[in-house]
Every structure is written in C-alpha cells, then in structure tokens.
Amino acid sequence: MKRKILSTLAIVAMLSSAHAAISLDSKGQQATAPSSLEGPMKAALTAYNEGRHVKAIDIAKPLAEKGNGDALFLMGFAHENGKGLEASREKALDYYTKASKAGQKDATYRLALIYLSSEDKAERTKGLSILEEAAKNDPANAGRVLGEVYIKGLLDGKPSFEQAASWWTKASEAGDIPSILGLARLYDATQEFPDKADPKKALSLYQKAVTLGDKTAMVAAGSRLLNGSEKIRNVAEGKAMLLRAIDEKQYDAYLALGDYEESVKKDFKAALKQYELGGANQQIDCALRAAEFYFEGKGNTEKSEVKGTEWLRKAAATGNPFGNYRYAAKLLEAPNPDKRKPEEKVDAARRAYDHLLNAAVGGIPQAQNEMGLFYLSGAMGVADPSAAAGWFQRAAQSGNVIAMNNLATLYEKGYGVAQNFSQAGQLFEASARLGNPQAATAVARLLASGAGAKKNIPQAWAWANIAVQNGDAEAKWILGEISTLASSQDLEEGKKSLETLRAELAKINAGKPNQSADPTKPAAQPAAPAKDAPAADSAKPVKKP
C-alpha cells in the first residue's frame, strides 16, 4: 500500500487556520518555534523562514552541537526538506531524535510523522508509540494527531472510528478545539460510518466549540439547527446563530440560510437573496447557486443567461478553482459550436484558457483533463500533444477515469509520448475498472489482438460484455468480432471470467460517486465550519472549443 504524508488538519477539513495546531504535513511547511523564543535561535528561525537557509544553518549548527533543542530541530527540518542541507531521511531522524530528547515538542511530532509515513509496519508502530508517549504530557496535540492516524488507517489501512473517537475525546477534554470539531464531524452523518451517526451529539460538540470561541463552528451549529434532523431542529436558534456568524464574517452562513429558504420553505426569492448576499461576500457556493437560479429560472426567478454568466464571473474572480472551472465551461459554450468560425473558436478558447488553467493548477482533475484536451485539439491555434499528455497524467494520478483513458490512447498511438502498448493497456484497464465503458472496450480490443499483453480471447470477451453492459456503442461490434474468433471453450471460460469480473467491479465501485460528476456543485448545507470545496453533483463536462 502506498502511503502519503498527511496533514493533521486534512481529516478535519473544517478546522480554522487560526488554530495553532501541530501538523503532520512535512511539505512546504515552515520551521516553527514558541513565539517567546529569544536569542540566536530566533534569528536562525527568522532567516530560515525568509528563505536565507544557509545563513540560518550557520547560526543553528554550533547551537545544535551544544544540545540546543530548537537548533537540533531546525537541523533536522533542513535535512528533511533539503533546504540549507542535503536531503537525508537518516540525518533528519537523528536530529529530530536528539531534539525530542531535549524537549523540543515539534521534533517529536516530525519524528512520529516520518515513521508513520514508512512502508515498514515496524516503523509505523514506532511512530505510534512516540505519539502515545507524547500524549501523556501533551494530550491536546498528541491526541489530535493520534485521532487522525486512526481515522486515516495509517497503521494498517483500516480506519478505526473507535480509536479516532477515543483520542479526539481525550484531546477535546484537554480543550483542543480542532479535536472537538473532528469529533463532531465523526458523529455528523458520514458516509464512512453511517451507523455511528449521532446528530444530537454532533450538534452539542459544534456548540461546545462555539462557546470556546471558535467562530467557524457557528456555521455548522446554525446550519444543523436550521436544516438538520427534525430531532435537533430549532429554526429560531439556528437563524440567530447564523446571523451571529455573519456578524463575525463567516459568510458560509449565507449558504445555510439560502438552503433553508430554498429546500425547507420553498421560498425561491428569499433563497436567491441569501445566495446573492453570500456571493457578494465571495462565498463561492452562494455565487454558483445564484448563477444556477438565473440559468434555470428556478422558482419564479427571471431566466437570464447574462445574470447567470455574471455570477459565474464573480465566482471565478474569487480565485476559487471551482469558480474558474464553471466560468471556463460557460465561456466555451455556444448554442451552435459547429457553426462558429475558426477565429471565433480560438477567441473563445483564449478567453477561457486562464480560468481553466487556474482550475487545473488548483487541483480539479476534470479541469486538468480539459487542459489536456485543449492542447490536444489545438484550440489555441497549435496542438501540443506532449503538454496534453502531461495534463492527462496529472488528472489520471488523481483517479480521473476519463484522463486515464485519454492518456492510454496517447500511449497506444505514440502521440505526445513514446508508443507503449503495455502502458496503454494498464491505463485502459485502470479506467475500465473504475467504470469507464470506452476503456473496457479498449481493454477487450487489446486482449483480443495481443497488443501489449498476452492474447486472451476469454478475457477479451468478458471485457467486451462489460463494455456493452455499461453502454458503449462500439462495444457491440467489438463483442461480435471477438465472438467469431472464440472457440466454444473460449466462450465457456469467458462466461466464468465475466462472472468473476462483475463481482470484482461491483466491489471496487461500491458506494463510489460518478466520476464524470460536476465537482463545482455546492452541497445542500455546509458540511463543516470551513470553506471546503463544493460537493459533486450532476454531470456537466466542459464543452470543447
């Protein structure tokens, strides 16, 4: 199993950056030390954080040799990220171990992180032991990290609700707000542990975070009082809480208020007012909702392409990658795209390019795939298949099934990349196993011809049937061709393979959302008190220029 280095806050997406939390994210993170630190090490840390790495090491090295914990930490950090000193896992571990023994708290967590990121189970167990020991004196920070370790299944790949809840409860009792919010999120109705959902308990935890001064929790608490389960619903308290949140500039509250008017009261005019107020305050989901209202003429709203497009422009202007993606899609739309003149197509592409690029750089796999199509089609005037392959690769690494298929096609044809049938076959199969019918057809075709893999008619016949079952029009012809090549024994084996394959695919895709879904549709209510990415909804792919 390939393991990632994870942020302590990644699992608790709603946590505010205002919380000074220990982070497990070792990438791009600046060295830190207590704010009260004075003397030479303060100068060293300041220099390091300003990018003067060599100067910082010159100051820290002699102090580290004398056993200064902060200096030892900085030396380890420099070795860990390769800035100021050579990148070396072993040396980073050595310095962090010494710093930890000297009482440097951050070094203890860095040490645990490195071990927990290991492929070796013994090292991961060692990382766990370090955190458990740290929890004796630092239950808030260590408990928070341990909760994430268990909810992410870093030890054995299996998430543990009980262990995560136990550690976050201990950290919560020590007054750690991020852990209170993490615990609340666990008891909120989650897909991962639906049988553990306890809306009343989740609400009480969000309210506890509010009483401890967390402003972001106001939105979660107010949202659930207003739009949650009938057992906990209290409209008056919910509205009051959300209005308090708005006073504190927590503009996600507008989304919850708008959703209440739209979904509960069915007052579309009042809902649109809330969405527009939120959008005016750069709340991305509200801006997208307002655009949707005008495009669809929802309720008694005036249907207006102009106003809808303007709200998409405002959504993009926030810098949010999802807003940029939706606006780019709109710019590339045309009532009759085939009737546009070549220069009109290029102009549309140029206007959309920057927004699509922002979305792709922002990590939206669909946008990365569209960037690949952009370069492949020559939409900007000249085709660049190598650049297309690069964008398809990024999207494919994020699990985008369409990009996997597109990249596989380039490998099969040797366009933009060196021709490689084996690589093409692996990508086609990966895409097919995640539900792409066109990729399933390609797998069947390659297996039938023996391109990139040993010829296997029974397997080819099984994959062709899967493609037909999933709706690919070309698959019927491919299946017919394979059937003419198959012997009676091939068909018998193919039927067995098909049964096995169906079971495997059902297990792989159980509970997974449609990957062609639009990632920019906002959720019905804020999932947690932070500015998370909007949830996926219906499919609306970017149209090609």
Domains in the chain: boundaries: 215-318, 401-514
Is residue 164 over pLDDT 50? yes
CA 286 centroid distance within chain: 20
Segment 231-236 mean pLDDT? 92
And the tokens for 162?
């009980």
At 437, the pLDDT band (50, 70, 90 cuts) reads: very high
With cut-offs at 50, 70 and 90, classify the pLDDT of residue 37: low
Q: Estimate the share of the chain in helix, then strand, then coil, as percent rounded to the nearest 5.
A: 65, 0, 35
- What is the C-alpha separation between 53 and 44, in angstroms, rounded? 9
pLDDT confidence band for 377 (50 / 70 / 90): confident
- Superfamily designation of domain 401-514: Tetratricopeptide repeat domain (1.25.40.10)
| More confident position, 195 or 452 | 195
pLDDT at position 83 over 60:
yes
What is the rounded CA–CA span in Å between residue 300 and residue 283?
23
Q: What is the pLDDT of residues 258-289, one digit of tens each?
A: 999 999 999 999 999 999 999 999 999 999 99
Q: Half-sphere exposure of residue 166, counting CA atoms within 13 Å on the CB side?
A: 9
Q: What is the model's pLDDT at position 421?
A: 94
